[in-house]
């Protein structure tokens, strides 16, 4: 992994993370990214699901979608993955900030070949919810045809992480202002069965393991 001028973090460099393992952790703790590309000379940003396998991100979509039609051409893209974990409330307005984890990387997409499509879709499914792939009806030929998968190498990537208490100016610590962190939850909550679910179908393994074997 190289860090050219494009991904070198200039602002607040103490928040920068360049270690591959930590970057992969951040990628694996999320499943939504924002993909930026240029379409008709204008910037476009589209949120979408992804999965990671090794040094690659996989994105899927309808074959006819603007996202896929651009990415399969191999245009330059920028991908941002962001999780906000808390508001950081300082004593001064100026030092308010967020605790967050963020990865940004640049690359180009490659259309996944038909023969690899099913395996790549499994990568995305496993990334979002492990074991779900084994529980569901597999895509048929018509569904596979309607879907394309794009593979992007995670090459020039960099991450920023901020955590912990606010950092106020020294003289502000004596102010009578409450300061601290206001965490933001980001967890799966108890599942809600489909109104049309057949009777006597229990929770699947993919959900049970999220809640400690169904204890919830």
Task: Tell me, letter by letter, the H, E, C secondary structure of 29-42.
Answer: CCCEEEEEEEECCE
Nearest residue (CB) to a copy of itself, 115 versus 140: 140
Determine the Cα–Cα distance for residues 190 and 112; give it in Å rounded to an integer.
35
Q: Which residues pair with 17 in a beta bridge?
A: 159
Q: How far is the CB of 24 from a copy of itself (least distance, A)?
A: 19
Q: How far is the CB of 56 from a copy of itself (least distance, A)?
A: 19
Determine the Cα–Cα distance for residues 98 and 89; give it in Å rounded to an integer.
8
Nearest residue (CB) to a copy of itself, 81 versus 151: 81
Q: How far is the CB of 161 from a copy of itself (least distance, A)?
A: 13
Contact 7, 104 (CB under 8 A): yes
Nearest residue (CB) to a copy of itself, 52 versus 121: 121
Contact 61, 147 (CB under 8 A): yes
Q: How far is the CB of 54 from a copy of itself (least distance, A)?
A: 22
Instruction: Give which of 41, 39, 43 is closest to 65, Cα–Cα.
Output: 39
- CB-side exposure of 156: number of CA atoms within 13 Å? 13
Q: How far is the CB of 9 from a copy of itself (least distance, A)?
A: 10
């Amino acid at each position: 992994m190289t860090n050219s001028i494009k991904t070198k973090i200039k602002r607040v460099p103490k928040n920068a993370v360049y270690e591959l393992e930590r970057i992969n952790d951040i990628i694996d703790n999320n499943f939504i990214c924002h993909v930026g590309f240029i379409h008709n000379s204008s910037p476009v940003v589209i949120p979408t699901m992804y999965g990671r396998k090794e040094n690659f991100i996989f994105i899927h979509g309808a074959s006819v979608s603007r996202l896929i039609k651009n990415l399969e051409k191999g245009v330059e893209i920028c991908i941002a993955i962001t999780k906000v974990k808390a508001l950081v409330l300082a004593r001064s307005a100026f030092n308010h900030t967020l605790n967050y984890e963020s990865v940004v990387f640049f690359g180009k997409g490659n259309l996944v070949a038909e023969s690899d499509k099913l395996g790549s879709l499994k990568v995305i499914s496993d990334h979002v919810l492990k074991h779900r792939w084994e529980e569901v009806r597999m895509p048929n030929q018509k569904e596979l045809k309607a879907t394309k998968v794009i593979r992007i190498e995670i090459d020039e990537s960099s991450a920023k992480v901020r955590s912990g208490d606010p950092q106020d100016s020294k003289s502000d610590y004596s102010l009578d202002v409450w300061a601290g962190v206001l965490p933001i939850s980001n967890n799966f909550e108890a599942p809600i069965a489909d109104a049309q679910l057949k009777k006597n179908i229990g929770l699947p393994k993919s959900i049970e393991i999220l809640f400690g074997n169904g204890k919830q």
